[in-house]
Amino acid sequence: MSVPAIELRNLEKSFGLAKIIQGVNLKIGKGERHAIIGPNGAGKSTLFNLITGKYTPTAGQVLMHGTDVSGMKPYQINRMGLSRSFQITNIFHNMTVFENVRCGLLWSMGYKYSFWHMVNRQRDLTEKADEILEQINLSSRRNMVAGALAYAEQRALEIGITIAGGADIIMLDEPCAGMSHSETDLIVDLIRKVTEDKTLIIVEHDMGVIFDLADRISVLVYGEIIESDTPEKVRASTAVQEAYLGTTVEEA
Amino acid sequence: MKSIKKLALGVAVAGLAATGALAENVKIAFIDPLSGPFAATGTNGLHQYEFAAEKLVNEKGGVLGGTNFEIVPFDNKISPKESLIQLQVAIDQGIRYIVQGNSSGVANALTDAIKKHNERNPDSRVLFLNYSAVDPALTNEKCNFWHFRFDANADIKMDALTDVIAQNPDIKKMYIIGQDYSFGKAVASAAVSMLGAKRPDIEIVGNELHPIGKVKDFTPYARKITASGADAVITGNWGSDMLGLGKAIIDNGFEGPIYTYYAAADGITAAFGEAGVGTLKLVAEGGDAPPEKPEAQEYQKAFKAKYPDGNISQSRITNVIQMLAMAIDEAGTATDVVAVANALEGMTFNDSLWSNNPMTMRASDHQLIQDVHIYAHTQVEAPFDMDNSGFGLKYENSIAAAGEALPTSCEMERP
Amino acid sequence: MSTPSSTPLKAGTQRLIPLNHALPWIIAAVFLLILPYIFDSRSALTIMNQMAITIVFALSYNMLLGQGGMLSFGHAVYMGLGGFFSMHVLNWMSDDPWISLPFLPIFGGLFGLMFAIMIGAFSTRRAGTVFAMISLGVGELVAAMSVIIVIFFGGEEGVSGDRTELLDFFGMSFGPQRQVYYLTAVWLLIAALGMYLYSRTPIGRIANAVRDNEERAEFLGYSQRHVRWISFCASGFFAGIAGALFAINFEILTEENLNLATSGSILLVTFLGGVGFFVGPIIGAIVFTLLQTVLSLYTEIWALYLGILFVSTVMFFPFGLTGLLAIHIQPWKLGKISHLVVPYAKMFIPAVVGVLSAAAVLEILFHARHAGLGEEEMNLYGITFDSHAAMPLIIAIVLAVASFFALVKLAPGLKAAWDEATHMGGAKQ
Amino acid sequence: MSLFIVNILDGFVTGLLLFMLCSGLTLIFSMMGVLNFAHASFYMLGAYFAYQISLLTGFWVGLIVAPVIVGVIGAFIERYGLRRVHKYGHVPELIFTFGLALLIEEIVQFFWGKSQMAYEAPEILDFAAFSIAGNTFPAYKVFMIFVALGIFLVLLYILTKTRVGMTIQAALSYPETVQNLGHNVPLVFMGVFGVGTAMAGLAGVIAGPVLGTFPGMAVLLGSIVFVTIVIGGLGSLWGALAASLIIGWLQTFAASYNVRMEDILTGLGFTKPEPIWDSAWQDLWTLTLPQIGPILPYLLMIIVLVVRPQGLFGKRET
């Protein structure tokens, strides 16, 4: 196996006395669609925040394409090609939908901290942003203020902003939370479409989504990964069932 | 404040009002703080000007055979920038005489601006009659032909003060404390050099500056002064810094004299009250309480009748008004300020309400040479007290024609 | 943490001046060109210059507050230092000048920029309260330094210079006020255009993004700290230009150019105008300068009115005066602005009477309390009366209360008209 | 040495006075997330009301009544002003209190004019409690210490022994638990703001006679109070106490000892340029500690914020 896209080595995180992540080891290969599941409070969001640089690990390492990124700032990690979405919708509410996507593009398209380009005059930016709007089916909402969008549309925009920068590792934190069945189907299709040929790491409660999307699944319980394998094997694992899945599988 | 409303012309049409005609009043722009922390001093000064113009000029037939004086107030919020704007407004209204006094910083800005204005606009020259700003520089290195000072400057006052101190053998140790800015420093350096010349045996046990307007509690300074064993204190503080410092020193049990420049009126006399008697001394020009001349007593009574809350705290204001009236009459014009300035220059003035001795506007630097007194803060009968407190300022020592011998570095350039 | 909500500071991107329309800029330029022919007195020119300087300063402040979400209590530092350095450059060159006056603001801007780079390096690490407090601390420190370091700041007298001592510029010596006016006006246009264009650049857009949601911006590859720092530096640059313009106009800089009162008043100006709009600070600066210079000629308690105006703006119109204008854009676009004319006209008289009589109450009370004993007579709106008598006060109170009730009574009518005017469709049936 | 003890006592008084302001401000901030820029203005109102009342009935009635009036005004402002602005976010709230501070200063001048008021300590306390090496320590200052300590103890009792107090205390450390106050949240907010401002008012009542009652008194103290709670850590009562005392002593000692830059520089081996007034370094050479005393708190704040943004005792980031 080549260098994994993301590798976690003995990753630990404590808040005061509470040890939330206790020694996680995980390798996620390039192009893999990897889901992280676990009961509430298992530390999934904390793990996400550790990988993306929002938190600094207490011990252990995060490697991205073989480079140690632990302790780096979110923007540094993002620049190396990792982008994430948020569990609670995290968009620029006062900007238009179009501008939201454009903000996601600026860095990766090389505009960085430029103060000598006029954004409105950059045809490449506008075209790319419109292309992404097309992909996430929000072209008709282009000039609306993002805060005025319906919830499902905001979730779609969230994904749009996340993928805009063209990162090759995409991390989605409960993209389907709070959605109806039909909306969920649309979002799953969208995720599949926009993460083609990319590494996807996803946290989700909806098991249907997980088993639909994921190539591999890791099960996080009390800050430890108790199982990491293909959906079939995870579904079959007694350890997982005991610890977590149990009835949920049947329900799904 | 009714004269503020007389300014109804406002800014936009201000330019139209230019060129004072014969029948029109001689307008005098009063540019001083009328709002903000120093508004009390400014407002009181304005009242004194309005009253003096009315009583001493207009009621006596005006100048040039019937033209009245009119004081036009401008609020400069004690800001140099606002002062410069108000100066422009005043000039646009055809005003040729500017009076200002509070803050040497403002005075410096004004004298500089007026000098440039008069150079660039010979058709609308103005005179600057400074009635209170005592920074020595104004009549020394920064002097100019358009500026006249009616108060004794800080050096002259210190000269008088040190003359008096020199005669007091009880003073062996002196503490000098002041606000950390030009005036505080000027007082300190003058005190050091003059004491050194007149009483080399006096030890300066403390010479320090504190930030201006920022000290909440002067107790630590008072402790330090007591600890130094000083027999007397000299301070140029004013406003709440004066009150805070003085009260802290007295509260700490200090009994020697505290020589001040500005420890009176605007609430300060009232706030010191009984506590200040015997310790507070003040150096200034002006009259006794009650003044020696009967007409001055009448004047002061009339003023207190009109402004019961006011004080004749800047008695030189009457000198400004009277001397300006004399100069205008002598020059025969109120519009040609060069002629008026030439008349003022070197003028000897015998009719001051507050003084029996003549005063001279020294030609070399435009500094009025007059008597300076050391006052004691003590009980005074109304209406000659201050702040209606029953306390006021009485002569203790007098120096005739103070500062006459002090040299000036002024190199006057005349038009 | 920034929780996105529709706060006035985050209103963002209303485009009152669209880029592809140069028209507003041309109108502004023409307006500035003819202005001195309408108001030609020296004081009017001085006040217009003062306005222009305040506009540049307020616009630069809004780069922080409005566009960057940074509340600063010490912005005067950058304008003041820019001004002081310009003054020193002016004095240093006066013996042997090699530039002419119109280029001086470049120096002011560069020195403002220099200090913004230095101070921003640590102050922009965080936004919100920490930034506000550091700005307050730096503001206090620099203001205090200005009194202590006399050799540079000139102590209480400040530093002055003579603007005519540089090289003539196409025959202009810049002695006369009018020449200075045109210099200031040109720089006003340059600076305003520069700041406007800045807000359309990638960094300008991202500054908005960081203001609204700094966390999200971090995960888009942008360091929130660097974004704030860059905005801060740009703001310092333009503040420095304002400082140099001040130096040119007043030929003196003093401690007041650096102190907290100046920093506080620019916050007032900007907020009054409306922080969510590019033109907000411009309107704020014009209104504030007029209030400060003109109102203070008529009444002693102008600062009280200003305080009331400011507090009620924060309470009732958090989008500022510009916000008040901007809410009329929608009815205008819908072609329904005419619906508002009648209710506005109805309210006009009670509103004017209400404001004037309320002011009269304050004026009478103030006069009765503070005027001299012989000065019971006061003059208000051309009427002369005795301020110590009860009648004028009662009349003023009755008028104020009556017009207040009239306004309350008319309010539902206005609201209905508003609903109608902002409601889409139905107008042309 | 005796001067040192006197300074310790003086600094203690200053510190406690600061703490009376800071405790109210901290309470308000912890509960409502509002940094009340106008806090010192309520302190000023306290002094002026007490002065006005003392003209009629003497000092002691003012001591009780003035803070109550200030508290009622504070609660009123919270209810009809601050709550209105609250929905726009914290920055507009801060701007609102900033405007309020300006407005209150104007209102005070409107009624009382611009001069200093002759507000005096009661005669019964107008004697020297004791004196150390010629430095008298007025009884009034002893009284101030007792009032401040009394306030502190009462506050401590309320916060630790009463139900509302414990909820408030929980809210100090965990802002989200404010919700546990149930449907009375607005009332509690109003109450906390009222009590906080009343404490500021009380501080004004007892400080007015010592530090002067004039329109500038709020500005003089305003930003220092702010600085103190930022140094102590926003939301930490103990931090506020510690920072108040630190600043009290810092300012007292800075004013008391004429440490001169000249001595330090000479000690470091530099030679003083002569004559000093021609040197570009004149201001550095002539600098003394009392000159920079009042700005030391700001310097301290900047250092603390850069090194430890949550303040000395603060748990959460601002």
Q: Closest Cα partner for C281 from C64, C7, C39? A: C64
Closest CA to C361 of C407, C400, C311: C400
Sheet hosting strand A67-68, strand order edge to edge: A18-28, A6-15, A59-64, A67-68
Chains that touch C (3 or more CB pairs under 8 A): A, B, D
Beta bridge partners of A18: A15
Check A91 against C213: CB less than 8 A apart. Answer: yes
Domain boundaries, chain B: 2-133+316-352, 155-287+372-399
- Beta strands D135-138; D128-132: pairing state: antiparallel
Q: Residues A211-222: what's their mean pLDDT?
A: 89
Question: What residue ranges in C213-345 does DSSP mark as E strands?
Answer: 252-253
- What token pair was written down for C253? 């800089």
Q: Specify the range with the lowest mean pLDDT, choosing from A177-181, B185-189, B349-353, D271-275.
A: D271-275
Residues of A in contact with C219 (CB under 8 A): 52, 74-75, 78, 83-84
Is there contact between B and C if contact means ≥3 C-beta pairs under 8 Å? yes
Answer yes or no: do D280 and C151 touch at CB < 8 A: yes
Q: Which residue has the tokens 């593009």?
A: A105
- For B303-329, b/e burial (b = at least 16 CB within 10 A) is bbebbebbbbbbbbbbbbbbbbbbbbb
| Coil, strand or helix at D121 | coil
C contacts of D84 (beta carbons < 8 Å): 315
Note the pLDDT of residue C16. 44
* Selection from D23, D77, D74 nearest residue D194 by Cα: D74
pLDDT at B14: 39
pTM of the model as a whole: 0.87
CB of A5 within 8 A of CB of A168? yes
**DSSP code for A166:** -
Partners of B9 on chain C (C-beta within 8 Å) are none
What residue type is assigned to position D281 of the chain? Answer: W
Q: Residue B334 class from Cβ within 10 Å (0-12 exposed, 13-18 middle, 19+ buried)? A: buried
Nearest beta carbon to residue A118 from set C197, C218, C222: C197
At A213, phi and psi to the nearest 5?
-90, -40
Burial of A193 (0-12, 13-18, 19+ CB in 10 A): exposed
Residue D257, token pair as written in the block = 């000892």
Let me know if chains D and C touch, i.e. at least 3 Cβ pairs under 8 angstroms: yes
Tokens read off for A161? 């902003």
Q: If you measure CA to CA, which chain C residue comes closest to D78?
A: C315
> Would you give the DSSP letter of residue D124?
G
Residues 6+ positions from C197 with CB-CB distance below 8 Å:
A118, C19
Please list the alpha-helical segments (H only) found in B292-407. Answer: 294-306, 316-331, 337-344
* Rounded-to-integer distance, Cα C138 and Cα C375, Å: 46
C-beta atoms of C134 and D292 within 8 A: no
**Partners of B377 in the beta sheet?**
B393
Mean pLDDT within B142-166: 93
**Looking up tokens 């004017």, which residue turns up?**
C352
- The answer regarding whether domain D2-256+292-307 maps to CATH 1.10.3470 reads yes
**Is the pLDDT score of B371 beyond 90?**
yes
- H or E segment and range at residue C84: helix C76-93
Amino acid at C311: V
Q: For residue B200, give the amino acid letter.
A: P
Partners of B182 on chain C (C-beta within 8 Å) are 155-157
A146 has a chain C CB within 8 A of its CB: no
Residue B330 is predicted with a pLDDT of: 93
Q: What is the mean pLDDT of chain A?
A: 86
The mean pLDDT of D296-309, rounded to a whole number, is 86
Q: Does B201 touch chain D (CB under 8 A)?
A: no
- Predicted confidence at residue A51, as pLDDT, reads 92
Q: Considering CB atoms only, which of A84, A92, A114 is closest to C201? A: A114
Is C208 within 8 Å of A92 when comparing Cβ atoms?
A: yes
Q: Are strands C159-160 and B203-210 parallel, antiparallel or unpaired?
A: unpaired
Put simply, the answer to whether B310 touches C372 (Cβ < 8 Å) is yes
Mean pLDDT of D7-31: 87
What does the alpha-carbon distance between residue D20 and residue D15 come to, in Å, rounded to a whole number? 9
Answer for the pair B385, B394: CB distance below 8 angstroms, yes or no: no
Q: What is the identity of the amino acid at B409?
A: S
CA distance B193 to D188: 64
Q: Does domain A1-78+204-252 have CATH number 3.40.50.300?
A: yes
* Residue contact B11–C43, C-beta within 8 A: yes
CA distance D318 to B280: 49
| Nearest beta carbon to residue D96 from set C125, C306, C314 | C314
Give the CB-side neighbour count of residue C70, counting CA atoms within 13 A.
Answer: 33
C293 neighbourhood in chain B, CB within 8 Å: 11, 85, 89
> Is B40 in Cβ contact with D114 (below 8 Å)?
yes
Residues of B in contact with C377 (CB under 8 A): 2
> DSSP characters for A170-199?
EEEESTTTT--HHHHHHHHHHHHHHTTTSE
User: What pLDDT was estimated at residue A232?
Assistant: 87
HSE-up of residue B362 (Cα within 13 Å, Cβ side): 26
Longest dimension (CA), chain A: 60
Contact B232, B256 (CB under 8 A): yes
Q: Report d(CA D307, CA D311) in Å as an integer.
A: 9
Asked if omega into B383 is within 30° of 0 (cis), the reply is yes
Nearest CA in chain C to A78: C221
Chain C, chain D: beta-carbon pairs less than 8 Å apart: 131
**What CATH number has the domain spanning B155-287+372-399?**
3.40.50.2300
**Cα end-to-end span (Å), chain D:** 41
**Per-residue confidence (pLDDT) for residue C195, from 0 to 100:** 94
d(CA B259, CA B293): 27
pLDDT at D169: 66
Task: Tell me if chain D has a CB within 8 Å of the CB of B390.
Answer: no
Residue C21: the pLDDT is 64
C-beta of residue D75 within 8 angstroms of C-beta of residue D62 = no
Query: Tens digit of pLDDT for each residue in B301-315?
Result: 999 888 887 888 888
| Residue of D21, D135, D250 to mutate for B, most B C-beta atoms under 10 A | D135
Q: Cβ(C138)–Cβ(C74) under 8 Å?
A: yes
State pLDDT tens for residues A36-86. 988 887 888 889 899 998 888 999 999 999 899 988 999 999 999 999 988
In this predicted structure, which of A230-234, B285-289, B401-405, D180-184 has the lowest mean pLDDT? D180-184
Residue pair A191/A159 in contact by the 8 Å Cβ criterion: yes
Segment B333-344 shows an average pLDDT of 93
Name chain C contacts of B80, Cβ cutoff 8 Å: 158, 250, 252, 254, 256
Which positions ≥6 away from C302 have C-beta within 8 Å? B35, C291, C292, C295, C296
Residue B360, helix vs strand vs coil: strand
Residue of B nearest to D254 (CA): B220
Collect all residues of chain B within an 8 Å Cβ-Cβ radius of residue C44: 11-12, 14-15, 92
> For chain B, what is the mean pLDDT?
87
- Can chain A be said to touch chain D, i.e. do they have 3 or more Cβ pairs within 8 angstroms? no
Q: How far is CA B95 from CA B26, C39, C42, C352, D155, in A?
A: 8, 19, 13, 34, 62
- pLDDT of B369 reads 94
Domain ranges of chain D: 2-256+292-307, 260-287
- Higher pLDDT residue, D125 or D228? D228
Q: How many CA atoms lie within 13 Å of D121's alpha carbon, on the beta-carbon side?
A: 20
**Exposure string over B198-229, b if 16+ CB within 10 A, otherwise e:** ebeebebbbbbbbbbbbbbbbbbbbbbbbbbe
- pLDDT averages per 10-residue partition of chain C, 429 residues: 39 45 84 88 87 96 92 94 95 88 94 95 85 89 85 85 86 86 95 93 92 88 93 96 95 89 91 90 92 77 87 88 85 78 82 86 81 66 75 84 85 80 56
Which residues share a beta bridge with A202?
Answer: A35, A172
pLDDT tens, position by position, B15-38: 333 333 345 889 999 999 887 767
The Cα B211–Cα B166 span in angstroms is 29
User: What is the per-residue pLDDT across A113-164, written as a single tens digit (0 to 9) for each?
Assistant: 888 888 888 888 899 999 999 988 888 988 988 888 888 899 999 999 998 8
| Pairing, β C159-160 against β C252-253 | antiparallel
Distance CA B244, CA B220 (A): 11
Name the fold adopted by B2-133+316-352. Rossmann fold (3.40.50)
Assess C219–A contact: CB distance below 8 Å, yes or no. Answer: yes
* pLDDT score at C3: 38
Residues of C in contact with A114 (CB under 8 A): 201-203
Between CA C121 and CA C118 the distance in angstroms is 5
CA D246 → CA B213, B412, D176, D241, D303, distances in Å? Answer: 22, 54, 31, 9, 15
Place of tokens 């020394």: B140
Place of tokens 């420890």: B263
Question: Looking at the predicted structure, is the pLDDT value of residue B154 above 50?
Answer: yes
- Residue C374 CB neighbours (<10 A): 12
Maximum CA extent, chain D: 73
Q: How confident is the model at residue A1, as a pLDDT?
A: 53
Measured between CB atoms, which of C303, C315, C362 is closest to D85? C315
Cα Rg, chain D, nearest whole Å: 21
Peptide bond into D122 cis (omega under 30): no
Q: Name the closest residue on chain B to residue C163, using Cα atoms.
A: B116
- Give the mean pLDDT of D236-263: 87
- Distance between CA atoms of C406 and C411, rounded to whole angstroms? 9
Tens digits of residue pLDDT in D60-106: 888 899 999 999 999 999 988 888 888 887 788 888 998 999 899 98
Does the distance separating the beta carbons of C298 and B120 come in below 8 Å?
Answer: no
**Domains B2-133+316-352 and B155-287+372-399 fall in the same CATH topology:** yes
Return the pLDDT at D174: 60
Chain C contact present for D91, CB below 8 A: yes
> Which residues in chain D are closer than 8 Å to C318, comparing Cβ atoms?
85, 88, 92
d(CA B157, CA B143): 19
Interchain pair D220, B213: CB under 8 A: yes
Residue B152 DSSP class = P
Tokens of A67: 């480079």
Q: At B348, is the pLDDT very low, low, confident or very high (cuts 50, 70, 90)?
A: very high
Closest CB from C4, C11, C206 relative to A106: C206
> What residue ranges define each of the domains in chain C, with the CATH number in brackets?
8-306 (1.10.3470), 329-422 (no CATH)
Residue C320 dihedral angles phi and psi, to the nearest 5°:
80, -175
- CB of B243 within 8 Å of a chain D CB? The answer is yes
Amino acid of residue A208: G
CB distance C122 to C149 below 8 Å: no
Tens-digit pLDDT profile for residues D118-169: 788 888 887 877 877 777 788 888 899 998 888 888 888 887 787 777 777 6
- Comparing C-alpha atoms, which of C287, C46, C248 is closest to residue B92? C46
In the block, residue with structure tokens 């007091």? B168
Closest approach of B15 to chain C, Cα-based (Å) = 5
Instruction: Give me the residue from C65, C150, C318 closest to D88, CB to CB.
Output: C318
Do A and B make contact, counting contact as 3+ CB pairs within 8 angstroms? no
Tokens 């282009």, residue?
A: A142
Length of chain B: 415
Query: CA of C247, closest CA in chain A: separation in Å?
Result: 28
